Every structure is written in C-alpha cells, then in structure tokens.
Structure 1
Amino acid sequence: MADQAFVTLATNDPYVKGALVLGSSLRQHNTTKKLVVLVPPQVSESMRKVLHKVYDEVRVVDVLDSKDSANLALMKRPELGITLTKLHCWTLTEYSKCVFMDADTVVLSNVDELFEREELSAAPDPGWPDCFNSGVFVYQPSLKTYSDLLHLVTEKGSFDGGDQGLLNTFFSSWATKDIHKHLPFVYNLSSISIYSYLPAFKAFGGNAKVVHFLGKVKPWNYTYDCKTKTVKSSSHDQTQTEPEFLSLWWNIYSTQVLPLLTEHGVVKDTATGLKAEEITESVEHMSIAPTHPTISSEERRERWEQGQVDYMGEDSYENIRKKLDSYLQ
C-alpha cells in the first residue's frame, strides 16, 4: 500500500551503510511498502544521494538528544542519546501505518505481514523481556503522539537515557495488556541472545526473519582482509556475533551497496580497503574470524560470574565436554 512504509534512522555516515544494507535487504525480498530514512543534518550530502538510490524518501530531521548523561552512563553507551531523534518517525503522517527498523537490522525474508499488527507492536528485549526492544516496532504516525512523547521526555526523561526507555514508559501496557502486540522473537533476533540460549537458536533460528546486530561493534566496524579472506574486528567484539549473519550482511553490502558508493564517487570504503569488484569476487569465500584477547583465569571467572560467557571460544560446549571427559578418565 502506498500509505504504508518501513522507516529507519541513520544518525551519521557509518550508520548510512547499515541503512543501505537494510533497505537493500527489504528490496531484495520484494517488499510492497515504501522505504523512508530519517537523517540529521550531519549526514553528508554524498551519502544522502546514495540513500536516494535505495529509499523512496530521505527526510532530514533535527537532532533530539536526551542529554541524560547519568542514565546513559548506566548503560556505558552515551552515544544512544541521539537515538531520541527516532521520535521524528511519528511525524510521518502521510503514512497510515509504519514499521520502524534500526539501521543495524537486516531482513532475511519478506516481512510485510508486520503491517497487519497494531501500534505499538514489538518483540521482547532479550535483556529484560518485560520491556520491548525498540529496534523493530509497528506504529501509527501521529503528531499528537509525537507531542506527547516530547512532553514525557521533558517531564520525566528516559529510564535508560535512550529511546527504548522512553517508549517503554509511554507504551507501558505492552507487557500485560494485549499479547497480539508481542511480536515473535524471530522478527527481532538479537545476535547476542543467540549465545545466551544456544539450544533455542539451534531449534528455531532457521525461522528468523529479522536479525538485529546489538552492541557497540556493528557489521561495518569489521575489516575485510583480502589476504586471509577473513573479516576481522577493529576492536574486541565481546558480543559474539553469529558468523553466518555477519557473512550475510557483508554479502549484501559488497554486492549491492558498495557499487552504489563507488558509482557516486564516495571515498574508497575504509571498512574494506578493497574495490567493489574485488569484494564481489571474494566475498563468497570469506570466513568470519573476529579476534579476541587472551584473558587471565581470574578475569575469565569474573566474566562468568557477570554472565559474559565465551560460548564460541574457550567456554564452548565442546571444550567443556573435553574438560569433563578428562576428569572422568
């Protein structure tokens, strides 16, 4: 329908890469909805031109910042204050219904059925399931809702300093009132939660429709090494991102997005160091190998106690099994 749209927010040029991959994945899976991206003034003009190649509308919006440094400090994510700019999505009143998706998500299949849901429909947050995760949600644009949200954030702020805390306060009945507004987890599958409940991921992960790359390290923060044909993190990725999903993101980026960046004269992509055609040829053979620092046994124990388990490394099931076998023998 012409009056329904998928909406995202690209707060800076690096996040534009994510938005381009998201939009390309929606196009790839034949969405019938409009695609809209919100950008603040600091997004470069060259990147906006590329966005116009994928999105039906590129709308420049003012930056809303919670300036709530105390609450943001609790999350150790001060950059999330700018995500309140997401509230501008309620001003898109030319659309009767929208689905907002963070720029660090990617769709694995057609998800147009989300528009059958009502406001505010969202999936549980893996860290606190009585709250919804604001990375994917169905909503109805309304200037009144926009005004009420601004009033709430001015009067009470956000309990996490970002949009998720604010939206969960505003739509506080989500947890208890209407189960039909609870999206299945497959519509907002966190790459981090995969390793907190690995058996469930193995059982149901094949049904995933939307993957959300939560955490500080995003797919575009990885570097492609053409010599070893691996993707390496520029910083220590402790979120344990699923390699299969990283590979999927990079495949879309290299085959559909990077050619657009090259075509529009955007500076050589620093995340890859390769020309578009070089990546296109080799991406099918690449493997994902984020590097992890060697830690002491004391630090490893401390991480265990904090719930930070290296399920794919030293703390993998295979390694634990081998240790148990050695004791039994």
Structure 2
Amino acid sequence: MATQDLGNRAGNTLSDRMLKVLDGAPALIRRKPRYAITSTIQTGSYTALGLMLGYSIQKHNDLVAMDAELVMLVRSGGNDGVSAENITRLERAGWRVKEAEELEFENVDTSQIRSHHRHNLNKLHVWSWTEYERIIFLDADTVCKGSLAELWQMPGDFAAAPDVWWDVITDNRFNSGLMVLRPSTEEFHSLVKHVSDPNYHSPNDADQAFLNTYYRFRYFGLPYKYNFNLIMYQFHRYYWDLLWDEAVIVHFTVRKPKPNPREHCHKGCNEWEPMEWYGMMFREMLAFYGWEKEIPLYA
C-alpha cells in the first residue's frame, strides 16, 4: 500500500521558486513544505483535467508563501493508466507525482465495484502522507478560481462542503470533491479496515458514500464556495448566479470537459456558460505551457 514519489523532473513551473545555483555554489536543499494540495488521476483520460487544475491553483495561490506543494497521486499500470508522457506533463504543470499501489481491502471483491468507481478508493492513500501537517484534496474535475489559504485554518481533522442534488440545495451530506484532512497513519488504517465493513461500504457505492458514513457527525462543514457544484447551474440557477463571484472551487460534476468538439457543450445545452468558461481557462493553460499542438481543447 506504499506510494512511490516520482520526483519533479520538469524544470520551471508556474510557481517555481526553487533555490538555484549561484556563482557555482551548491544549491541549498529545499525544506519539505508543511502542507500539500493533492489530487488523483486513476485513469489516463483525466490527465488534461489534472493539468488544468494545477494551472488554476497556481494562478490564484502563491504556494511558496502558503508553504504548500502540489502532489498528484496517479495509477500508471494497465491499459488506462497515466502514461510516462503525461506524468512528465503533470510535473511540468507543477505537480509532484506519486504512484500508488492499488489498495486492497479484506473480503472486498473490487471487480464488483462499478468500473468508474473502482480505483477511486485509492485516494485513501493521502491519509498516510504524514510528512504533511494538513492536506487539501481536490477531485481532478475541479477548477480553482480563488485563494485556498483559509482552509489550512479549518478546525478538526476533516472538513468538506455540502453536496447538492437536482432537487436538494442543502444537504447534510458532503461532496468529497474537496476535502481538508489531517494525515494520520492510524486513521489511514482505520479507513482501509472500514471499507471491508458492509455497514460502511457496499460495492455499488463510490468513495463519497463510504466517507460520508465514516465521518458522519464528525466533519466540519465548509461554505458552498469551496465545492461549487455544476448541478446548481441548471437546477438552482438563482444560487449559482448569486454565489459565482465568491466561488473558489468549481466542480464539474454532471458534465465533464471533453476533448472531442462534437462532445463540447455548445450554446443552448444545459451547462453551456460554465463549459465555455472552462474552455477559455483551458486555452489559457495550453498557451502558457505551449501545448496548443500537443493537447486538444477540453471544453
């Protein structure tokens, strides 16, 4: 259940403030940051979303002043894992990449878990990263549009923002697309153990259902602005418009950005304006890194 740090081989990044060699003197060794902003890519098709997330975080946050670094947990094996080429791109976009072994759970047949949820439980690895005081975890299908600094001051060991449904605007369950957690080896082992408990997890459930059961009554609730759910745009438009300016993390839940223009959300579709905004940000990211001819537009 270990993770392997693949290092950061990519050189300059948007938030690259590393000490350099001056006048032939050896560079100083950089101290490990106190905090980590993390995400996970378990299938290669999500790589471009991870690139966009890293770019957007660094656009709105000074990681050096924050004493934080970006850490991406990837799965590189199999036919659908993250390729070596895409790992290099992630590193160039500022991510320190860690490759994790597939988590195994006693008496749990992972083949019974729905295919698009099968690898999501690997995100539990981040609880074992005790080299950091606190971790902000973000799903790869989120985009940052503001400061994350106050999240490091959240009380308790676990915090998340409320979920939203087409017919429910206020839910006492949280969405696991953004979580603030205090790493703990003991908590990590407890989480892995409880996945095997049918009272906490069933094969048809994703990680979010499990974590809601596990942290029920024990999580600190965050404002909507930290997990601004795309479903609000169609079904709760008044609140979407009301809160857009203060939103910090936009979560593309009900519709994912796609590389094929035929799958783009053109004018008239339910989520047109947010997808147009994502496409604009994605173009900006491609231009910044010079990837216009390497990576198709996601929108």
- TM-score tier, shorter chain, comes to 0.7 to 0.9
Identity %: 27
Distance 1:35 1:48, change over 3 A: same
TM-score of the pair, normalised by structure 1: 0.68
Matches of 1:204 and 1:259 in 2, distance apart?
29
Deviation at 1:22, TM superposition (A): 0.6
CA distance in 2, matches of 1:158, 1:239: 35
| 3-state SS of paired residue (1:130) | coil
Q: Which residue of 1 aligns with 2:279?
A: 250
Aligned match for 1:36, one of 71, 74, 82: 71
Residue 158 of structure 2, aligned match among 103, 107, 120: 120
- Picking from 183, 200, 221, the partner of 1:141 is 183
Structure 1 residue 115, shift from structure 2 partner: 1.1
Give, as a single letter, the amino acid of the residue that structure 1 aligns with 2:295.
D
**Pairwise CA distance, 1:269:** 3.2
Counterpart among 253, 257, 263 of residue 233 in structure 1: 263
Matched, 1:169 2:213: yes
Q: 1:316 — aligned with what? A: none
1:2 positional shift:
1.8
The CA deviation at 1:112 is: 1.6
* 1:53 to partner: Cα distance: 1.2
Matching residue of 1:130: 172
Matched, 1:193 2:232: yes
Tell me, in whole angstroms, the C-alpha distance in 1 between the residues paired with 2:274 and 2:109: 33
Q: Report what 1:203 is aligned to.
A: 242
Cα distance change, pair 209–153 in 1 and its aligned pair in 2 (3 A): same
Aligned positions, number: 250
CA contact (8 A) 2:282 2:297 kept: no
Letter in 1 for 2:85: S
Partner of 2:295: 269
2:75 aligned with 1:14, yes or no?
A: no
Asked whether the equivalents of residues 232 and 239 of structure 2 are also in contact (C-alpha less than 8 Å), the reply is no
CA 106–235 in structure 1, closer or farther in 2 if over 3 Å, else same: closer
Residues 81-107 of structure 1, C-alpha deviations (whole Å, 9 max, x = no match): 211011111121110001100000001
For 1:233, the aligned partner's letter is E
TM-score, length of structure 2 as denominator length: 0.74
Compute the displacement of 1:136 (Å): 0.2
- Structure 1 residues 56 and 191: CA distance shift in structure 2, 3 A: closer
Tell me the alpha carbon deviations over residues 215-262 of structure 1, each in whole angstroms, 9 at most, x when there is no partner.
Answer: 3x411x1534xxxxxxx42699x9932x33323322232232466474
* Long gaps (5+) in structure 2: 1-31
Shift of 1:62: 1.7
Whether the 8 Å CA contact 2:61–2:148 is kept in 1: the answer is no
Single out whichever of 140-149 and 124-133 deviates more from structure 2.
Answer: 124-133
Amino acid at match of 1:167: L
**Contact 1:191/1:240 (8 A) holds in 2:** no
Higher share in helix: 1
| Closer/same/farther in 2, CA of residues 68 and 59 from structure 1, 3 Å limit | closer
8 Å contact from structure 1 (residues 20, 257) kept in 2: no
SS, match of residue 173 in structure 1: coil
Aligned partner of 2:33 in structure 1 is 2
| TM-align CA RMSD | 2.9
Contact kept in structure 2, 1:69 and 1:161, CA below 8 Å: no
Contiguous gaps of at least 5 residues in structure 1: 73-77, 225-231, 273-287, 289-329
1:94 equivalent among 98, 119, 131: 131
Alpha-carbon spacing, 1:206–1:255, altered in 2? closer, same or farther (3 Å): closer
Whole-angstrom CA distance in 2 between matches of 1:262 and 1:256: 8
The farther-off stretch of 152-161 and 13-22 is 152-161
